[in-house]
Amino acid sequence: MKEINLKNKEKERLKQREKEAREREARHSNGHLFTSLTVSSTTLCSSCNRSITAKEALSCPACNVTIHNRCRDSLASCAKMKQKQQKLTLVRNSSALQNVALRTKTPMMKERPSSAIYPSDSLRQSLLGSRRVRSGLSLAKSVSTNNIAGMTEDSVGLRRILSQSTESLNFRSRTLSMDMFFRSCEWWWSPLLEELQVEGSCVQADSWSLVVEPNFLQTLHKDLIKQQDVIYELIQTEFHHVRTLRIMEGVYRRGMQEEVMLEAGVVHTIFPCLDQLLEWHSGFLSELLNRRKEGLMEGSSTNFTVRRIGELLLRQFSGQSADDMKKLYSEFCSRHPKAVKLYKEVLTRDRRLQQFVRRACRGPLLRRHGVQECILLVTQRITKYPVLIQRILDNTKGSEEEAQALSRALLLLKELISSVDKEVLELDRTRRLQEIQARLDPRAQAEVQGGGVFRGGELLRRKLLHEGTLLWKVQGSRMKDVQVLLMSDILVFLQEKDQKFTFASLDKSPVVSLNNLIVRDIANQERGMYLISASTPPEMYELYASSKDDRRTWMSRIQQTSLSCPSRDEFPLIETEDKALLRRLKADIQQKDREVLELLQERVTLFSDLVEATGRGGGGGGDELSTSSFRTSSCSRNLFRADTPHAPQAEPLLSASIAEGEFLSPGFIKDKNGNQLQERSLNEVTITSCSLSTDLLVDICSLHISLDYSYISVSLHFNISLPSK
């Protein structure tokens, strides 16, 4: 029975195919490409001039003819198809004539390039496709294609070849003019690329072993050769990184600012802290190249060994240099997703940027260094240093001091990378919390135990520690998907609806305090856990994770956060409007204090440079050197000592500033997490501090920034003494 059904289906399939083939053949008649269409009752047949019904109407889109289905055989051939056939015949004849001409060329003709007379096949086809062959159309009206033969055919083909050669020359001239135009626009980055190419000549070799002479290489130990190969790789990759930064700064950023005319804020978002990164890595590369120069052998320009690399690396990855590197890479890496997203958005809508990027990426160097590739390379650079330093350390033999320096530098670098990762993670969490708060329904609110209403603004007071999706089991054995936010002192349950977040309105409060929260796993449920709140009355939440490992992660993080959770006296669950206002004012004051501190530090640096420039002088003997030192110290005192009538007021005023700052500091104590707490009344301390700060600022401004160096020192001390967040 099954075989019969299969045979019947196969027969029906064959009949359907034959029917479709007959219809296709019927519609291709006399060169026409007929298609069925719906027409009005007033449409007339082009063959018999009678009205056409909707069921039997056929139309040829090539010549716009509409006829009956039964009249298709009596219709004349399609004029458009004739023209196409004539055109193809002429092209075929011209190519045949061209082949004959190429075979019978004289030696003098062979010396000329064929592109000067005959265009390429692809160019000829493109030109033929774009031209309107009027001669072919007029020829089709007067004579049939079958009558074209002999000399007429050759003359027509020759004229077409000459016409095509002229058009090819015009096309080539237009192409050359466009190339010259683009090259004239590239003048501002071409010197940079040439400079980078010249500077990169010293690190073109694949390894150090290929740079030095073979005779010199044979005199060295195997471990030293491996060590120098890795050091050379460090120098080479550092140069490539500096080259990437210079391309970002000298080509893309400058082009976006000057040629594309993007806003400064947009360009800064795409390339954050680029100048500082370039300065840091350029200084590091300069130190490495100096060590290479110092290691040159006498009488040779190619043989060198880099010594005491551990000392250089230790200095580079410690102290102020390490702090700068941590700050720069934390900012750049945290802004990486936003920078790439913004660049893609601007590239999609701005045609000027599209043209600029397309033109800039024509060169082989910039083709490998697009904007997104450059940004990614910068974020990855900091992770390459530990691997290289570890390889240098593994091949360092016979020098205990050098090995210790390398080990210390490697340890500091790993700590630095860990700190960068931590700061990037915190910034990402802060950004994610802001996104969640922005998507939270403005009318969303939740009632909490003990009375009070929890609103979305309360989320920004806290830090987001962990986030994920869990299943919340409610009454009736129902499971609800909830977005869970683990904050510094609470758990928040949200639900998503129409791209908006709302507080989960289920049988329990969506805000759970972590104070005295008990976390237990569910027996025989590897994905389930209980959260037992020690409130009045106590409540129990039954949650399920996506996997056993996910549940373990949630339980561990909730328990750790619960142990370090501040008490409600220290950190209230809901902040009143007055306290929120005071907190914002306090944050603004602290931000201004930080800005003032940075300005004072810059001022100290400028004074130091001024002292150095003023006290710089020659000196050969000891007496001259001591005289120069005395002159420098005296000059520094004169520079930092104000010479105005207000100067005598500085000492008592600054003493009063320190005394008032020390008076304010006992009003604040710290909890176990380092948070500042109020011992006295918050209003009393705030009013007192604002009053004293106002008086002090008025007095300090009256001095016109003309105090001595102690002003700066006490200002720094006073800033530290202020209560911090």
215 vs 128, residue with greater confidence:
215
What b/e sequence results for 607-634 when a residue is b if at least 16 CB atoms lie within 10 Å of its CB, and e otherwise? eeeebeeebeeeeeeeeeeeeeeeebee
Confidence of residue 588 (pLDDT cuts 50, 70, 90): confident
User: pLDDT by residue (tens digit) across 42-70?
Assistant: 577 877 767 776 566 777 877 767 777 77
Write down the pLDDT at residue 17: 78
pLDDT value of position 494: 92
What's the CATH number for 25-75?
3.30.60.20
Residue 325: its pLDDT value, please? Answer: 94
Is the pTM higher than 0.85?
A: no
Bigger pLDDT: 541 vs 168: 541
pLDDT tens per residue, range 268-284: 999 999 999 999 999 99
| Average pLDDT rounded to a whole number, residues 93-120 | 41
pLDDT for 708 beyond 60:
no
Residues of the chain with CATH 2.30.29.30: 462-563
Q: What is the 3-state secondary structure (H, E, C) of 267-329?
A: HHHHCCCHHHHHHHHHHHHHHHHHHHHHCECCCCCCCECCCCHHHHHHHHCCHHHHHHHHHHH
Higher-confidence residue of 93 and 380: namely 380
For the chain, where do the domains classified as CATH 1.20.900.10 start and end? 190-428
Q: Which helix (H) or strand (E) holds 464?
A: strand 464-474
Which of 64-78, 265-279, 361-375 has the highest average model confidence (pLDDT)? Answer: 265-279
CATH for 462-563? 2.30.29.30
Domain 190-428 in CATH: superfamily? Dbl homology (DH) domain (1.20.900.10)
From start to end of 354-451, where are the E strands? 445-447
What is the percent of the chain where pLDDT is above 70?
A: 64
Between 682 and 59, the higher pLDDT residue: 59
Counting residues of the chain whose pLDDT is more than 90, the rounded percentage is 27
Pairing verdict, β 676-678 and 518-521? unpaired
How far is 540 from 644, CA to CA, in rounded Å?
72
Mean pLDDT (whole number) for 426-450:
86
Confidence class of residue 333 from pLDDT cuts 50, 70 and 90? very high
pLDDT higher than threshold 60 for residue 26: no
How buried is residue 718: exposed, middle or buried, by Cβ count under 10 Å (0-12/13-18/19+)? buried
CATH 3.30.60.20 residue ranges of the chain are: 25-75
Comparing CA positions, the residue from 425, 260, 278, 276 lying closest to residue 337 is: 425
> What's residue 110's pLDDT?
39
Answer positive or negative: Cα dihedral of 115, 120, 123, 124: positive
- The secondary element (H helix, E strand) that includes residue 639 is helix 622-640
Task: Give me the pLDDT at residue 2, please.
Answer: 60
Count of positions (residues) in the chain: 725
Q: What sign results for the dihedral spanned by CA atoms 85, 90, 96, 102?
A: negative
CB atoms within 10 A of CB 636: 18
Tell me what pLDDT residue 694 has: 52
What pLDDT was estimated at residue 594?
81
